[in-house]
Structure formats: C-alpha cells, structure tokens
Structure 1
Amino acid sequence: MSYKTQMEAARKGIVTPQMKAVAEKENMSLDTLVERMAKGTIIIPANKNHTSLKPEGVGEGLKTKINVNLGISKDCNNFDVEMEKVNKAIEMNVEAIMDLSSFGKTREFRTELIKKSTAMIGTVPIYDAVGFYDKELKDITVEEFIKVVRTHAEDGVDFMTIHAGINKETAKRFKKNQRITNIVSRGGSLLYAWMELNDKENPFYEYYDELLDICREYDVTLSLGDACRPGSIADSTDASQVEELIVLGELTKRAWEKDVQVMVEGPGHMAINEIEANMILEKRLCHGAPFYVLGPIVTDVAPGYDHITSAIGGAIAASSGADFLCYVTPAEHLRLPNIDDMKEGIIASKIAAHAGDIAKGIPNARDWDNNMSRARQSLNWEKMFELAIDSEKPRRYRAESMPEDEDTCTMCGKMCSMRNMNKVMEGKDINILRD
C-alpha cells in the first residue's frame, strides 16, 4: 500500500521507518504509536524532501520536545553567524529548529539549514513573503502567499506555522475586546494588517483546502499559529484567544480529513494559575492535537531573564499536557539572540521539558534524576558532569573553586553531608577538624 503522509500510513496500518525510529527512541510500542498517530494525538513531522532528518515524535505519551528559533533579520543579516547557531543547536541535541528569517537570502539559508539539520525544521512562510517578492505587504496577492508555502514545502520544511485562525470573525472579536498589547504574534499581526488594508478574508483561512493539498503532497505538518496569543498576562485567556482556539479546533479536524498532521500553537504570556486550565482547554477544543507553546511567560517584568520566566511556565505547561516547548532566550523582547543567549534558552527549555516529563510520568524520565542522585551520593564528580543537562558549566564551576578535600566542594568542605553520611554508615570516623 502507498501513502502520502505519516498520518495516512498510520490509518492504513503501515509502519514507516520514521515510526520505527520514534517508537524505539521513546520506548513506546509500535501499536500504541500507530494508533495515536491515526487519531492525530501524535505527529512525526518529516517532509519527504528532508533527507538528513532524524525523526522525532511529538504528542501523547512522548517526551516533551523543544524548539529553537533563529534566522536572518534586516538588522542582523549575517548568514555565517546564524549557521553557527544552527551548529550549536544541533550539537545540543534540540529536536527542532525554526528558521524565522525575514530578510535577504532567506531561501539560500533555509536550503542549507535543511540540508545539514538532523533536527526537524519549521518556518513561518508569511515572514518570507515580503522579502521573497520585494513588495509591500498590502500588495502581495493571495496566489503569492500560497506560492511561498509551496516553495517552503518543496525545500523540505517539516512543519509550517500558518495563522489561519485569525479570520474576519476572530478579528471582530478582537476589535470588541480591548487588549493592552493588541496582537503580538508577528505573523498574526502581518495577516491582520493585510486583511484590514485590503478588506479581505485571511487568505490562509479562505484557501485552507489548497494549503492542505500542499501539506499532503510533501507531508508537511501544519502548525496552526495563535495570532491572538496573549502578549501580556493582562490579555491571557481572553475572548480573542479563546475565539481563535475554537477556530483552530475546527481547522484541525479539516486537516485530519485529508490526513495532514497538525499541532496547535499556544500562549504566550500567562499567569501561573491559568496555565493548567489553558492546556486542558486546548486539548479539549482541538481534539487532543499536540500543543506547542511559547513559554508561557509567567510575568512581564523580567526583561533580560525571560528564559527563566518562560522555563517556569514551560514546566507547568508540560506537566499539564503541553507536548512541545518553544525556547525563550534572555534576549526576548530586546534583540536578536546571540549564541550565548541561545544556549541559555536551550538549557532553560530542556530543564522545563524534563521537569514536565517527570510530572507526566513519561517512561524512564525519573531514571536520569535517580542516576544523578546516586552519583552525588557516591561523590562521583565525573559521573555528575556526564549526566548534567549541561556538563560544561558544572565542570567550570568545580575547576574554579577546588576544595582542600577532593571528596567535597568549597561550600561545605568536610561538613559535606554526603561525605559524612557515607563514612558514618561505613562505621568510619568523619574527621571534620583533622586530616
């Protein structure tokens, strides 16, 4: 039997090489994986033209995945610097990279990225449209928007953020309900502006079936973008956000009718006490489709530290059902992140994802922590460094402040609880004040 998409294969009972790789990696039975893919609660974004990909699954019962954003902008358009970030992200084993390039040689960068990346690649085609055609936003035609989507699909993009939920009805709801930060999604704001300037329906909503045909042809996963995601905690869980989420749920079902894989994007900025309810709401309204969240960022007052505010929200979101976290760096809201910012964002997101996996009961998630605890108990410093999410920083900290007694650290010295309990339980003297 033949198939066009991973979802179609699952519905026909065909086990693809990508499914086998994910099942083995995730310690999930193939029967369970195939069943959930057929329902749409697990996806494997894998464009048929992305030949260097090491496939990853996203969704129900799988480890929480993380995404890294990078790409060329008008103010920072150094191809080599962005490719250095790509290399670092792959070295740090991120599962996904989104190319958000919006200026210059976007296709050259994108094709090189897809050629070398083992991680799945995502894009937001509307970012590319203005530069691709060298036209003002208002003058881009519906056909040109669709053509950019096809170009990205042909190039091998595994998933695309498409803001199809901000239709005329959603826009009416937005206008009736004032927000502090209006529409903060870059792609969403561009589409809203195009709709207003041309007095037309969102082209991605109006021509959604044509979009699905492209996704089906290349097996592109549709990442339904949240144009109305909150950009401040004051705007979270409001009428605009919920109205759009209802539309995204309807669009999810239409995509599944054509065997197109879907994930749904979510907030955004949000107070801690709203996160769990939002995860439940998305899963309910979007029929269990995987949920891809930015943050959520739990307070608005920490510019320069938003990797921390995001990791707090991301851990809660993941523990409450989010499947995919978009990293946030210390540079969020301030500038294009440099490679050090990117590394901090990756590590913060990895911590959040793993903390969520422990709470969700993902198989073997706790084993990692238990192995670290055993290494600490035995004062096996090398093993601790090997097990750390980031081995470089703890090695450096240790080397910068070596204790007199190698079994200890300079915080506690010979008063180290691990050292002394080990000795006492072996029947030895602990010798705190003498050699």
Structure 2
Amino acid sequence: MKNYKTQMEAAKKGIITPEMELVCSKEQITPDYLREKVAIGEIVIPANVNHTSLSAEGIGQGLKTKINVNLGISGDLKDYDMEMSKVNLALQYGAEAIMDLSNYGKTNHFRKELIKKSSAMIGTVPMYDAIGYLEKDLLEITASDFLKVVEAHAKEGVDFVTIHAGINKRVIESFKQSKRITNIVSRGGSLLFAWMEMTGNENPFFEYYDDVLEILRTYDVTISLGDALRPGCLADSSDAGQISELIEIGYLTERAWEKDVQVIVEGPGHMALNEIKANVLMEKRICHNAPFYVLGPLVTDIAPGYDHITSAIGGSIAAASGADFLCYVTPAEHLRLPDLADVKEGIIATKIAAHAADIAKNIPDARKIDNEMAKARHNVDWDKMFSLAIDPEKAQNYYESTPPKDRHTCSMCGKMCAVRTTNLILEGKKVEFCTEK
C-alpha cells in the first residue's frame, strides 16, 4: 500500500515511484536526480491516481520540452467525433499533454472518454465548465460551487488543472491602472474578473486556496497556476498587471509545495522577441524555478492564419531560455475552432519549436536524430529521410508529387544536386550533366 498521496510527497520521503521510474527511462536521467527535482518542485509528474491509461511524463529542469494540444466542445461546433479525432492526431504525433477546454453543455462524458483513452496527460480549466456543470448563470455561482467543479474534474482523473488563483483584488487594481489595449484575453481570467466585479467578492480560488489544494492533493492533481492577465498583444506585454499577478503566483507556488501539491506556472501569450528571455528568467526567479508553461509567445500580432508560425518562433526562444512546456497554437488561432488540418499544423510547428530548444539546451541525445537525418541526406537515402522526418507523410508526399528522373536527387536540383556532385567526386567518379546515363 502506498504511503504517500502525491509524487511530491513521495519524493520528499525519498521514495522512487513507478511514475518516476518511467520518466527516467524516457529521459535518460537517474532516479536520484529526478526525485530530488520533484521534491523541490523544479520537475513535476502530473499523474492523477484515477488516470489509469496514463504514460507518465516529466516536465521541468533538465528534461525534454513537452507540448500540449488544446481541444474541446464549443457552443458553435458541438461535434464530439471531431474532437476525438483531434485526440487521435495528438497521440499519433506525440503530444505529451491534451487540454480539454470544452465550454458547452455537460462536458463530463467527453472528458471521461478522453481520460479513459489517452496515454497523454490530461488538463482542464474547471472555470470553463462551471456554468454548464452547475446550470447556473455566472452571478448565481458561489465560491463553494467553483470548488465543486474542481473536485469533479479531479475525481474523473484529470492530471493537471488550470486555476487562475493569482488574479486577486490587489492584482485587479494594477490591471485597471495599466490601461491595456486588449484588457483580459484569458477566458477563465475574464470570467473570474466579471464574477468578482459583479459580486464584490475576492477571487474564490485565492480566498479558499487551501481548500483547492486539499482537493488536488487527494487525487494527486498538479495545479497549473493560470495567468489571467497574460498579454493579448505586444503592447500589453510585461506590464504592471502581468507582473503583479506573477508575484502573487510566486507566493501561491510555495503554499502549494507546503501541501505537497505539484505546480506548473503559466506564462505570456503575446510578446516581442526581445522580451521573451527576460520573462522566462523572471518567472523562474519569482516562482522559485517551478516549471514554466507558455502559450507561444506569439511574436507579432499581424499574422492571423499563420499564428502557428508566430507561436513556434516565440516558443523556441522561450524553451531555449528555460521554459519547460509549450502550448500549441494552430493557424485558426483568433479566427475559429481549429479543424483536423489546423490541429496537425499546430502540433508539428510546436514539436519543431520544442525540439529546436532541446538541442539548444543540450538535452541528452536531442541532436541524435538530426545527425541520423544528416547521414541519410549524405547517402541520398530517401526512405530513411522520410522515416526520420517529424512528419513522414508530408515529406514523402512532397517528394513524390514531382518525382525526379533519378531517385538519387530531387526535382529541385536534379543532377546538379550538391550532395550528388560532391559524393561522385569523393568517390573518384566524373560529374557529367550533358550525357544521359
């Protein structure tokens, strides 16, 4: 019988859990290193005791950068089969986490099926589900009602929950004084702000934070401290509201650790390139090296339809600077609920950003597959290249769409392929272009 409630409690007691052993095998690290980092909060292993299909992953210092895929049911597109197809894509392309952001109707049926099926860790934002779950309008919901929704998600097997506990009355004053262009763009944050303003009450997740932690500790749910005041445009980044909330999150991080609850800290959405590294370093300092989870950041505001690219640029810089967890962004960001094609594009772009950052951070063997790809290109071994590609199907389809006469080249350079030319010379052969061979 287990004599610990959470991964953090086990780590503090010197216990190596089965989940820790699995993470070690995936990351090529020692159990002692992992246990020490989990004990002090620099690595988390989100693993709800009721998520039996989970293949545990670690997030944090010295580990590979992980990615999350957002999906879920909306009021304008209630297609459960479509959302489950997105789940399949996320698992196929190696996303380590899936967040169910459903915000319409009774979402627990979809969520239960998702938890039952998914080997990836599952996250939610209980605030999104409050109105549908409770069948009450926002103004009618009480503080205890909000906690009931958190407990319902925890019981179902969710591995981590986004809780916007940092947007308290002090932070709201900073927000109001900052005169932002886009104000609050966090859905959960805006709902809490509205509830607080309409009722005059303190943020229930802040006021009853110890009760929230007790719920999460019972099921070993990791708290992802949401940034309600994340910037929604470049002009709003790194302002007083964002920093004020981050300071509160730093205090809340330590309080969670005292209760043996693991913590992830969520980070900014839109930010200029030159601010990203400073923001990562600031989060690590203020939040005591807790794992950092970023949405992008998107590095320009003018690319709707291409925000998977603006996000991947920012995400690679953030992760190379020390961020640990990237939330994908699709081409549909700011425009619509993403379809299957959008989801795939978002996953691939974010996987590229994560992998590029892992190379920069010298994660063990991160560059190994790149070296294998380089050798395959040297040998002009197309089948090997396709197998190593992050998206093998797309790579092969592009190559085959305009097939070259000579399979030892591609249709761009043909016989003038630099690799072919150099290989022939180094093999002591002639390079000929005018004679068909």
Bin the TM-score by the shorter chain: over 0.9
1:135 aligns with 2:125: no
Match of 2:14 in 1: 13
1:373 aligns with 2:374: yes
Match of 2:51 in 1: 50
Other structure's SS at 2:298 match? coil
- The 1-side partners of 2:433 and 2:318 are apart by 45
Deviation at 1:104, TM superposition (A): 1.9
- The 1-side partners of 2:327 and 2:407 are apart by 40
Match of 1:390 in 2: 391
Match of 1:327 in 2: 328
Give, as a single letter, the amino acid of the residue that structure 2 aligns with 1:30: P
- The 1-side partners of 2:90 and 2:62 are apart by 25
Give, as a single letter, the amino acid of the residue that structure 2 aligns with 1:424: I
Other structure's SS at 1:118 match? coil
Match of 1:337 in 2: 338
Matches within 5 A, 1:16-31: 16-31=17-32
Give, as a single letter, the amino acid of the residue that structure 2 aligns with 1:347: I
- The 1-side partners of 2:407 and 2:347 are apart by 31
Decide whether the 8 Å contact of 1:233 with 1:299 is kept in 2. Answer: yes
Deviation at 1:135, TM superposition (A): 1.2
Match of 2:265 in 1: 264
Matches within 5 A, 1:3-402: 3-402=4-403
Match of 2:418 in 1: 417
Deviation at 1:105, TM superposition (A): 2.8
Decide whether the 8 Å contact of 1:311 with 1:348 is kept in 2. Answer: yes
Decide whether the 8 Å contact of 1:65 with 1:324 is kept in 2. Answer: yes
Deviation at 1:92, TM superposition (A): 1.4
Give, as a single letter, the amino acid of the residue that structure 1 aligns with 2:347: I
Other structure's SS at 1:277 match? helix
Give, as a single letter, the amino acid of the residue that structure 2 aligns with 1:158: D
Other structure's SS at 2:37 match? helix
Other structure's SS at 1:325 match? strand
The superposition leaves residues 227-253 of structure 1 with CA deviations (integer Å, 9 ceiling, x where unpaired) of: 000000000000000000000000000
- The 2-side partners of 1:410 and 1:92 are apart by 28
Deviation at 1:146, TM superposition (A): 0.2
The superposition leaves residues 52-94 of structure 1 with CA deviations (integer Å, 9 ceiling, x where unpaired) of: 0000000000000000000001001111111111111111111
**TM value normalised by structure 2:** 0.99
Other structure's SS at 1:365 match? coil
Deviation at 1:311, TM superposition (A): 0.3
Decide whether the 8 Å contact of 1:98 with 1:123 is kept in 2. Answer: yes
Give, as a single letter, the amino acid of the residue that structure 1 aligns with 2:23: V
**TM value normalised by structure 1:** 0.99
Decide whether the 8 Å contact of 1:77 with 1:104 is kept in 2. Answer: no
- The 1-side partners of 2:79 and 2:410 are apart by 43
- The 1-side partners of 2:363 and 2:401 are apart by 36
- The 1-side partners of 2:326 and 2:335 are apart by 20
- The 1-side partners of 2:273 and 2:420 are apart by 39
Runs of 4+ off more than 2 Å: none
- The 2-side partners of 1:290 and 1:342 are apart by 25
- The 2-side partners of 1:302 and 1:173 are apart by 29
- The 2-side partners of 1:400 and 1:105 are apart by 45
- The 2-side partners of 1:85 and 1:268 are apart by 23
- The 2-side partners of 1:42 and 1:203 are apart by 27
Decide whether the 8 Å contact of 1:154 with 1:218 is kept in 2. Answer: yes
Deviation at 1:337, TM superposition (A): 0.3
- The 1-side partners of 2:427 and 2:110 are apart by 60
State the identity %.
66
Give, as a single letter, the amino acid of the residue that structure 2 aligns with 1:210: D
Other structure's SS at 1:240 match? helix
Give, as a single letter, the amino acid of the residue that structure 2 aligns with 1:51: T
1:430 aligns with 2:434: no
Deviation at 1:432, TM superposition (A): 2.1
- The 1-side partners of 2:434 and 2:179 are apart by 67
- The 2-side partners of 1:234 and 1:56 are apart by 35
The superposition leaves residues 402-435 of structure 1 with CA deviations (integer Å, 9 ceiling, x where unpaired) of: 1111100011011101111111111111222212
Decide whether the 8 Å contact of 1:269 with 1:298 is kept in 2. Answer: yes
- The 2-side partners of 1:37 and 1:310 are apart by 29
Deviation at 1:321, TM superposition (A): 0.3
Deviation at 1:112, TM superposition (A): 0.5
* Uncovered stretches (5+) of structure 1, i.e. residues with no partner: none
Give, as a single letter, the amino acid of the residue that structure 1 aligns with 2:157: G
- The 2-side partners of 1:37 and 1:7 are apart by 6
